[in-house]
Structure 1
């Protein structure tokens, strides 16, 4: 009995088809191929780093006192909805100066002063009173005094420039009332949180 002989072109086609099938099976079973968990994590990170309400949060500085020199930080919510963020490392953090968020550059200098920076242990998960909520079109403020124990006043000159920079860590496009205890317990792992950099205007401060 003679064996079945396939045309050369058909044999080539079947060979290619077999190779493609084996490669597909290998990729799907390979430990280095992206699985569902990897894809979900990537989408979650993309959501957190997306702009969201962050561009609508305007940070500005103005001098409110001359003795002691005091800078007032204002965060204005220009979004059409309420925004809530964690005060930690935000422009309204009461430790903004000690954490290095506020930089001071003497007049004529090209680099800011090197100020002592502290490391703090934050309460985690945070308490509800650590959340700051701003209604659409509203503002919240914080006064930052240039404390002589932190800022060497003999080096700042008469008209230093001051700016506030950093990164929003936990921003949510909702009011504080819309954040449940479970949300607060799991803050930092929610896919509807946003992050992004912030920077204020450059303010000339009058000393003395």
Structure 2
């Protein structure tokens, strides 16, 4: 597994290193020892799958408040997404910044979203599936979100947004005024 640090503290992109032969290939998607070597943890308690029928479907930006904060490992298993993380950790040097990257079935890239970061994605193709293990159980009372179109975040979504749930449209704007980043 190849780990690439993002502009957000503790957030990584992880690319599998395939080992191939005439049958195809084998690669690790998750290895707790390799994660630990980068200071990351992944005690999985739940695995989620998301399916979106249409390109331009936006999901997020979601997170869970402490003590139910969760880390996530995002993998697009069909289609392609533009994956976004926003740092909401007040003590982080990258507080209030965001990064985004393309994850697809073709590139097999994973995004490690640390606790304390909001997460969302925009589907770039129709019939897209995303699989993501998480480190905390879904707890409705801890559910929080940010508006995907918040001008203070100024996320540079790479394609038109066509489908958004009422719930994701209703998240409040946040008082962010610091610069943003894009990977």
- TM-score using structure 1 length: 0.24
Higher helix share: 1
Higher strand share: 2
- TM-score using structure 2 length: 0.26
Bigger Rg, which one: 1
